[in-house]
């Protein structure tokens, strides 16, 4: 299914029905008087968050949406029927922004949240409404008012607890596919991931959290290189940023250089991203080059004092400790932290479903655990 995270639509509420100009004409009632009914109210346009959706694809092909008009009034004091409301469904985490002014209208962060995007026009009054002592036979009625029209830009920010950031080919898709039931495309060339992916990670029977995998970030992404910073909006709501670094990178021998590049690109996008909790993970310890570099990193930590974790997303080594640490941060965060609890909604089967596969398999060969790291080395036992 195609992933669409930004659309611009034009919504128009229904027009109110016209009031009726009518006079009662019945046998034995030669002067029945005015009896024109009121017109019905026009239908509203409502945008509602639906937990069963995970993309704005439904709004991508049709750009204009119009609610039903109200029905006209009739004689014998018959009022027109109200126009049917039009409800547009979007995934949770959608921002509704006025396309003309740039003002944020509503953040539909939870399933069931709704926003009245355009209000229907009021129906016109029939001539029976104007009858009175000074005007016994009003020969006029009101017309219905037009409904509101608004151009809205919908921007989707995925709801996740943990956001995975890293260079292309760092193993992000392999990691999320290992610890959850998500199945992103995995290949040996850069930019395999072109759209974000979500996965629900179940640490145990009562603790789970949502992980978001976004396309790789390259140096100069803030200037538009690679895929740019377009998809970074999907990790703005996360509570934790997981920096996944390729320890067997043939270009950059120092993993801290990669870490600083990623931090710089995130800071140029938004200072708020670096204010989140961070976890630094060095991947691919199953490769000989990574093992040799891992020995040099014993007893060291990241430049900002964060401990290093050593894992192999391919073999599963160290992933149980990583999942336990992430679960402790996500499930134990205080209220008010900008994120989406995994228990609050269910991901669509197109994103992830079911119980994740085992992620603590025995790694081939013994990998010595560094003294300064918190990974499990080559042990896969729980």
Mean pLDDT of the chain: 79
pLDDT above 80: residue 216:
no
* 63 and 168 inside one domain: no
pLDDT band for position 25 (50/70/90)?
A: confident
Between residues 332 and 298, which one has the greater pLDDT? 298
Evaluate whether residue 27 is within a structural domain. yes
Q: What is the pLDDT of residue 184?
A: 65
Q: In 3D, which of 133, 107, 120 has the Cα closest to residue 49?
A: 107
Q: What is the pLDDT of residue 81?
A: 94
pLDDT digits (tens, 9 = 90+) for 341-357: 333 333 333 333 333 44
Q: What is the pLDDT of residue 360?
A: 38
Between residues 221 and 88, which one has the greater pLDDT? 88
Q: What is the pLDDT of residue 222?
A: 60
Q: Which residue has the tokens 């081939």?
A: 364
Q: What does each C-alpha distance from 156 to 57, 91, 196, 215 come to in angstroms? A: 11, 8, 11, 16
Query: Looking at the whole model, is its pTM more than 0.85?
Result: no
Evaluate whether residue 13 is within a structural domain. yes
Evaluate whether residue 7 is within a structural domain. yes
* 181 and 100 inside one domain: no
* 313 and 188 inside one domain: yes
* 108 and 222 inside one domain: no
Between residues 159 and 135, which one has the greater pLDDT? 135
Burial tier of 112 (Cβ tally within 10 Å: 0-12, 13-18, 19+): exposed
What is d(CA 190, CA 216) in angstroms, rounded to the nearest whole number?
8
Query: Which range among 40-54, 121-135, 240-254 shows the weakest confidence by mean pLDDT?
Result: 240-254
What is d(CA 91, CA 154) in angstroms, rounded to the nearest whole number?
10
Between residues 378 and 51, which one has the greater pLDDT? 51
Q: What is the pLDDT of residue 193?
A: 58
* 228 and 85 inside one domain: no
Domain that holds residue 204: 162-344
Q: What is the pLDDT of residue 342?
A: 36
- CATH number, domain of 37, equals 2.70.210.12
Domain total in the chain: 2
Q: In 3D, which of 235, 231, 245, 230 has the Cα closest to residue 169?
A: 245
Q: Is the dihedral of CA 180, 186, 191, 193 positive or negative?
A: negative
pLDDT band for position 229 (50/70/90)?
A: low
Q: Which residue has the tokens 């990583």?
A: 322
Evaluate whether residue 366 is within a structural domain. no
Q: In 3D, which of 76, 83, 65 has the Cα closest to residue 35?
A: 76
Instruction: Please state, for a pLDDT cut of 90, what percent of the chain lies above it.
Output: 29
Q: What is the pLDDT of residue 194?
A: 62
Max mean pLDDT among 135-149, 266-280, 297-311 falls in 135-149
CA angle, residues 195, 200, 204, in degrees to nearest 5 = 155
Instruction: Please state, for a pLDDT cut of 70, what percent of the chain lies above it.
Output: 79
pLDDT band for position 190 (50/70/90)?
A: low
pLDDT band for position 206 (50/70/90)?
A: confident
Instruction: State which of 113, 131, 156 marks the end of a domain.
Output: 156
- CATH number, domain of 267, equals 3.40.50.300
* 169 and 281 inside one domain: yes
pLDDT above 80: residue 283:
yes
Q: In 3D, which of 35, 51, 52, 40 has the Cα closest to residue 13?
A: 40
Q: What is the pLDDT of residue 99?
A: 92
pLDDT digits (tens, 9 = 90+) for 29-78: 777 889 999 999 999 999 999 988 878 888 888 999 999 999 999 998 89
Evaluate whether residue 368 is within a structural domain. no
* 236 and 198 inside one domain: yes
Q: What is the pLDDT of residue 186?
A: 65
Evaluate whether residue 353 is within a structural domain. no
Q: What is the pLDDT of residue 313?
A: 86
Q: Is the dihedral of CA 334, 336, 342, 344 positive or negative?
A: positive
Evaluate whether residue 113 is within a structural domain. yes
Q: What is the pLDDT of residue 171?
A: 83
* 138 and 220 inside one domain: no
β 6-12/149-156 pair status = antiparallel
Q: What is the pLDDT of residue 147?
A: 95
Between residues 201 and 183, which one has the greater pLDDT? 201
Average pLDDT of the residues in 286-291? 87
Query: Which range among 20-24, 36-40, 173-177 shows the weakest confidence by mean pLDDT?
Result: 173-177
Evaluate whether residue 14 is within a structural domain. yes
* 78 and 212 inside one domain: no
* 27 and 150 inside one domain: yes
């Amino acid at each position: 299914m195609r992933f669409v995270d930004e659309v611009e639509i034009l919504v128009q509420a229904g027009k109110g029905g016209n009031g009726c100009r009518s006079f009662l004409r019945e046998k034995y009632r030669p002067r029945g008087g005015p009896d024109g009914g009121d017109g019905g109210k026009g239908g509203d346009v409502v945008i509602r968050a639906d937990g069963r959706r995970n993309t704005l694809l439904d709004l991508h092909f049709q750009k204009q949406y119009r609610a039903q008009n109200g029905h006209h009034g009739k004689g014998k004091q018959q009022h027109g029927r109200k126009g049917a409301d039009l409800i547009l469904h979007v995934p949770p985490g959608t921002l509704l922004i006025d396309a003309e002014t740039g003002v944020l209208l509503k953040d539909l962060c939870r399933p069931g949240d709704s926003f009245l995007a355009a209000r229907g026009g009021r129906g016109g009054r029939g001539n029976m409404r104007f009858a009175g002592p000074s005007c016994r036979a009003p020969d006029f009625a009101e017309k219905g008012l037009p409904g509101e029209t608004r151009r809205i830009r919908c921007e989707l920010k995925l709801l996740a607890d943990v956001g995975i950031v890293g260079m292309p080919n760092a193993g992000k898709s392999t990691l999320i596919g290992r610890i959850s039931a998500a199945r992103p495309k995995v290949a040996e060339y850069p930019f395999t991931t072109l759209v974000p992916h979500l996965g629900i990670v179940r640490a145990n029977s009562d603790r789970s959290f949502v992980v978001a995998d976004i396309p790789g970030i390259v140096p100069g992404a803030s200037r538009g290189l690679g895929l740019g910073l377009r998809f970074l909006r999907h990790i703005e709501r996360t509570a934790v940023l997981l920096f996944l670094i390729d320890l067997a990178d043939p270009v950059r021998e120092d993993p801290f250089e990669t870490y600083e590049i990623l931090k710089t690109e995130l800071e140029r996008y938004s200072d708020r991203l670096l204010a989140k909790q961070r976890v630094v993970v060095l991947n691919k310890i199953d490769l000989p080059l990574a093992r040799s570099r891992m020995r040099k990193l014993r007893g060291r930590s990241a430049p900002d004092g964060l401990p290093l974790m050593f894992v192999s997303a391919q073999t599963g080594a160290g992933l149980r400790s990583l999942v336990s640490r992430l679960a402790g941060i996500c499930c134990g965060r205080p209220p008010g932290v900008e994120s989406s609890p995994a228990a609050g909604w269910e991901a669509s089967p197109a994103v992830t479903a079911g119980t994740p596969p085992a992620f603590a398999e025995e790694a081939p060969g013994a990998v010595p655990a560094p003294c300064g790291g918190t990974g499990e080395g080559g042990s896969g036992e729980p």
